[in-house]
């Protein structure tokens, strides 16, 4: 039913004004939350079992680096005892550069974390201030160096572009500084102004303070040119990796591997006798806590996918990957060729220059990557 585990830590030192993820501010202690995660893991194991030992564990947030290394070690040990871990398990942890030092990072490495994702976002202190980040550019560089000295050989850096007041040259400099550190993985996300965030009040969709579509597209091209020139594989719309260092957890997500989500606001995708079910935990931390303490699962919503839903997901998740969608994989999953289902959509998107067909597969063109959301919408039932 699942081969991957996601653990959500919905706490931050300070909530960033652009962030729409489930999180709340917590200066230091996470209280009993780590113990609740252990209990939820045991409760969930009574309802669903992995198809095989876990292939990956991902600590996301929020700010997972607020966990103590001993708490991370305890959660990994419980996962090993409850579900079993592959001998090649990838264990990722997201870290805010403003919350870590060498001792803490060495503790995470000793706990079993073997992949670190640093939420740098920018190496420009002006942009970091705009984003409401708690760290400086120098702290980001120091955190990366500390991670290396702590023994991490698989480090990713997250960057955001199309920021208020950002120029293409500023973005070029951000990328150059990231490349100087030589991480194994770089994610480059365009800023998305989400509803019900402070940014939504500050920056309307057509705000002159935000880069226009032409500049945002230029930034996408700038990233692709610089990163591929330095040997990074562009393997997903927003993700680049050295050969052999693609995020296995996220790749599994895009390939519709089953995963179990733990924590307030966590989501799961469980492979079952249907075409899969998507499960959402309550984002209310107090409600989550009370339900788990009472011995229940804090699931707020369960959706069983129809065949049409599953086929659409297969297409738009698979198209996020540079390799695209293999027709044979679709047929193996659903017993029909995608051409028999989406012939008209394929023809329209290829004609529009958004999709390309190579032998028996389809993938996004460069223009299709820039306009991916409208492309994906064409596959919805």
| DSSP code string of 298-315 | -EEEEEEPPHHHHHHHHH
Tokens found for residue 116 = 């670190």
Estimate the crossing angle of helix 338-351 against helix 327-334, to 10 degrees: 140
Higher pLDDT, 202 or 12: 12
At residue 52, the pLDDT reads 86
At residue 266, the pLDDT reads 97
Tokens found for residue 179 = 């490349």
Q: Domain coordinates of the chain in residue numbers?
A: 4-253, 307-377
> 83-141 pLDDT, tens per residue?
999 999 999 999 999 999 999 999 999 999 999 999 999 999 999 998 889 999 999 99
- For the domain made up of 307-377, the CATH class stated in words is mainly alpha
At residue 23, the pLDDT reads 65
Find out if CATH 3.20.20.70 is the number for domain 4-253: yes
Q: What is the pTM of this model?
A: 0.94
Instruction: Check: CB of residue 185 under 8 Å from CB of residue 247.
Output: yes
DSSP codes joined into one string, 215-246: HHHHHHHHHHHHHHHTT-EEEETTEEE-TT-S
pLDDT confidence of 16, banded at 50, 70, 90?
Answer: confident
Q: What percent of the chain clears pLDDT 70, i.e. is strictly above it?
A: 93
Q: 């202690």: which residue's tokens?
A: 29
Residues 36, 287: Cα–Cα separation, whole Å: 12
Q: 């991902």: which residue's tokens?
A: 58
Residues 330, 314: Cα–Cα separation, whole Å: 7
> What count of other Cβ atoms lies within 10 Å of the Cβ of residue 169?
9
Q: Give how far Cα 18 sits from Cα of 120, 138, 266, 332, Å.
A: 14, 22, 19, 40
Residues 250, 218: Cα–Cα separation, whole Å: 26
Tokens found for residue 335 = 């017993």
User: 180: which residues sit within 8 A by CB, 6+ positions away?
Assistant: none
Largest CA distance in the chain: 57
Evaluate if residue 366 carries a pLDDT over 90. Answer: yes
Q: What percent of the chain clears pLDDT 90, i.e. is strictly above it?
A: 82
Residues 159, 187: Cα–Cα separation, whole Å: 6
At residue 45, the pLDDT reads 93
Residue 261's DSSP bridge partners are 6
Q: For residue 70, what is the DSSP state?
A: H
pLDDT confidence of 157, banded at 50, 70, 90?
Answer: very high
pLDDT confidence of 381, banded at 50, 70, 90?
Answer: confident
The SS3 call for residue 26 is coil
pLDDT confidence of 22, banded at 50, 70, 90?
Answer: low
């Amino acid at each position: 039913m699942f081969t991957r585990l996601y653990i959500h830590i919905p706490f931050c030192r300070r909530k960033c004004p652009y962030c729409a993820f489930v999180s709340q501010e917590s200066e230091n202690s996470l209280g009993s939350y780590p113990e609740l995660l252990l209990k939820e893991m045991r409760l969930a194991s009574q309802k669903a079992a992995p198809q095989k030992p876990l292939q990956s564990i991902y600590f996301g947030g929020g700010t997972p680096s607020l966990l103590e290394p001993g708490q991370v070690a305890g959660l990994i040990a419980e996962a090993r005892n409850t579900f079993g871990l592959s001998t090649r398990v990838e264990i990722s942890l997201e870290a805010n550069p403003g919350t870590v030092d060498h001792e803490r990072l060495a503790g995470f490495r000793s706990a079993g974390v073997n992949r670190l994702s640093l939420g740098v976002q920018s190496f420009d202190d002006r942009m970091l201030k705009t984003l409401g980040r708690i760290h400086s550019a120098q702290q980001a560089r120091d955190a990366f160096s500390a991670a290396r000295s702590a023994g991490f050989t698989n480090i990713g850096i997250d960057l955001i572009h199309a920021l208020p007041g950002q120029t293409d040259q500023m973005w070029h400099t951000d990328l150059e500084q990231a490349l100087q550190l030589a991480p194994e993985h770089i994610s480059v996300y365009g800023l998305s102004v989400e509803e019900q965030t402070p940014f939504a009040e500050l920056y309307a969709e057509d705000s002159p303070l935000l880069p226009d579509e032409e500049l945002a597209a230029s930034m996408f091209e700038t990233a692709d040119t610089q990163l591929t020139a330095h040997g990074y594989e562009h393997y997903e719309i927003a993700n680049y990796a050295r050969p052999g260092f693609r995020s296995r957890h996220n790749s599994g997500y895009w390939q519709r591997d089953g995963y179990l989500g733990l924590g307030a606001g966590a989501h799961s995708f469980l492979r079952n006798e249907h075409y899969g079910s998507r499960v959402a935990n309550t984002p209310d931390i107090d409600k989550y806590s009370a339900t788990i303490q009472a011995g229940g699962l804090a699931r707020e919503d369960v959706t069983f996918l129809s065949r049409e839903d599953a086929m659409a997901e297969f297409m738009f998740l698979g198209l996020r990957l540079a390799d695209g969608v293999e027709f044979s994989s679709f047929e193996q999953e659903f017993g029909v060729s995608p051409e028999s289902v989406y012939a008209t959509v394929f023809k329209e998107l290829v004609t529009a220059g958004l999709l390309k067909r190579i032998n028996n597969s389809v993938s996004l063109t460069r223009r299709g990557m820039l306009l991916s959301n409208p492309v994906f919408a064409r596959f919805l039932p």
